[in-house]
Structure 1
Amino acid sequence: MEWLVVIGVLNLGLLSLVVFFLIRLEMKRRGQDGAWASREAQLRDAVGLAAAQGQQAVERRIADFEKAASGDSAQLREVLLERFGGLNVEIVEQLAAGKTSSQHSLGEFKDEVKGVLAEHGQKFEQRQGEALKALQDSLREGMKDIRTQVSESLSKSSEELGKRVENLTERTDGRLKEISGQVEKRLAEGFEKTTETFISVLQHLERIDEAQKKITELSGNVVSLQAVLTDKSSRGAFGEVQLNTLVRNLMPESAFEMQKSLSTGNRVDCMLFLPDPTGNVSIDAKFPLENYRTMVDPDRGDQEKTVAERLFKQDVKKHIKDISEKYIIPGETADGAMMFLPAEAVFAEIHAHHPDLVDFAQHRRVWMVSPTTLMAILTTAGAVLKDEATRRQVHIIQEHLRALSGDFGRFQERMDKLAKHIDLAHRDVKEVHTSAGKITSRFSKIEKVELEDGEQTTAGLLTDSED
């Protein structure tokens, strides 16, 4: 019998839970959690109340059953079954009534919610319209304020811009005036410089004209020089003049002689008087240039140039042989002589293309020199002469040094005596200074004594007056 009671209680609990979950699902489906919360609480209270009533009814039934337990068990079972069946029917009816009531309440609640939502929708639309209208009014007022501020700002900006444009215009005008002044100044300076340059160009053109005239004159002189070189006697005179100029510029007058006559009756163009072991050196300035000019003439043919070259070599060899035989005299001149070539081109031609002539000259002890090499030789010879003169004057220098040494010895003795006298004078000065100090101290003591005596006398006079 007890299990039947338990089953009934469980059935009631299950039914209550089923109703609760159905209501919960319906509320979730609707999506109105906040609005349905109160309705859910009411339904929950109704179900709890129904369950409590059912439980009370069951308890009453159980109590009645316990009272009637003393009866027949068969009758009791029938009675219980009948009563339990009636209880089930009552519970089902109550549940059906509760469900119907809940559905009716839900319908009413839905209607109420719809009404509330419609009312709230109307209020929301009304408030939204009012807010939109207020926002539009606020925007209109704000736009008016913004337009006013923008207008004021634009007016201020236009005024400031106008002032800045005026200032900029004034500065630009001033700057343009300054630049214009500078440009005018620079243009004036440029014109002055251009004028000066033009004048300078004219002066240079005048100088060029003068130089052109001088070049023309020089061309005439060159032509005449070529004519001079063509003649043999004139050619010799040209070489002698060039040799004379070099020797006189680099050697002392006592170290050379022009057109020196020898013991053989020959006359050399220049004789250098050098110290031993070199001795007297003869210099010849008459060099044959006729065939050389033909050899280097661009207007001549190759065959003619070849013939001129062969004749040039013959002339040079003959000239070297003549110098060796005429101007090298044992005991009178040096063992060699110099052949002066008046042109550097001739000297370079012989050494570059005719080494056999150089060997022949060395064999004959004839030294070929150009103006440049002769200048170096004469410079060296001048230094040798100066050294020789210095060596000749060595004994005189030694005598002067001996005399100077004696004079310095006497000077040393006199200096020692003077030093002694200076020491004595210094000691005398110290003694005089000491005596002066003593005398000064004596005077100081005398002054102090006089002051003391004066004070004593004054004190005596005062005493007498008091008496």
Structure 2
Amino acid sequence: MQLSDFSIHARSRVLRNVQIYCFVMLETEDFIGVVTLLLSTLTLVLVGLLWLRNMRKQRETDKGYGAQETGLARLEELLREQERVFRREMADDQKAMEQRLGDIQKQLAEDAGKLRTDMVERFESLRKTISEGLADGRLAQQRSLNELNESLQKVLHEGITGVGKDVNAVLVRNTEELGKRVERLTESTDKRLQEISSQVDKRLSKGFEKTTETFALVLTHLNRIDEAQKKITELSSNVVSLQEVLADKRSRGAFGEVQLNALVRNLMPEESFALQYQLKNDKRVDCMLFLPEPTGNIAVDAKFPLESFRRMTDLQLADSDRDKASSQFRQDIRKHIGDIADKYIIPGETSDGAVMFIPAEAVFAEIHAHYPDLVEEAYRRRVWLVSPTTMMAILTTARAVLKDAATREQVHIIQQHLGALSKDFGRFQERMDRLSQHIRQAHDDVDQVNTSARKITSRFEKIEKVELDEGLEPTAIPEVKAKV
């Protein structure tokens, strides 16, 4: 009986709670929750029935529980009764819920209709407001575009005008500056050319003057040579007296040196010769001529042996004595040629030849006329036999060589200046080329600026011709249908 009372009390509590929950869920329109709660309750009841059936089977096995079995049977019957009652109540509740759901559905349909009507009215009002705003915005946008177009045209026109003025001013300024630079460069080039021309003229004039002087001196010396040739006869007639004067070796050497010194000083510049010049081998030469390469320095000896020549030409001696004197004369000259070649021909210091000065024209003529072997010996040993007349010609030629060397040096300087002038002209050509390139580049830039200006003007003209479409209407907003 206690179990039965407990089950009745539990059933009533469960049903009471279920009714409360169902009422709350219906009020909150949670239909799914109501159905879920009912199914949960039914499941709970079925579980209780199964539990009681199991308890009954267990108690049937126990013999000492007969009274309890009777109670369990009654409890089972009560549960079945409660199940039937619960099913009836659930059916009633289901009908009430269906009725309630129908009422709620009707109410929702009425509310949806009202909401749809309200939304349509609101959308229509919003469409009208948007259409009016779009029309006003289109007009304001048209006015703004017109104002912007006018201001932009004005600004661009002013900008193009200013750019054109600036470009023209820059071009004029660059042209003026370029003209000034070209004028300055031309003036400096003309001045430089005039200076170089004046220097060349001066040096050429000096060279011509020196050449004229040289030719005048040559003519003068040739006249002197002619006079000397006239005096040869007189000298030949005075050979005997000269031999007597030159009998002494010291007097003979002094006479040759004095005659050589007179010739050299009269015909050669001071810096082109040296008297009693000491060589590297500690030998002293009577005269050293300093000539330009490839000739080089030439040693001149004036100590000629005349004793044998005096005896050879002495008519008072017998023929045998004069023959002996002739042989001795040949030996003396050959020895003197060898001494000059050994002493005064020094590689690296002097020329490859030396000069043996014969102070008498008669002796020079005698050697070339009757002693050809001595002439060949001298030629082989690179010793040049000269007389006062031929020495004069040699010195004149040497002086001309010196002047020609000086002239060549001046020509070399002129060539250097001409080379520098050629380089200056080359730099001038390069600068003129760069200048012409800059001028062409400036002309191309001006053409490009003009092209850009024409393009900008064309684009502005196209912008001015643009017309906005007046027939455009704002698009209507489609109606929204509420779905139930």
* TM more than 0.5: no
TM, length-normalised to structure 2: 0.37
TM, length-normalised to structure 1: 0.38
Higher relative contact order (CA 8 A, sep 6+): 2
Q: Which has the higher helix share?
A: 1
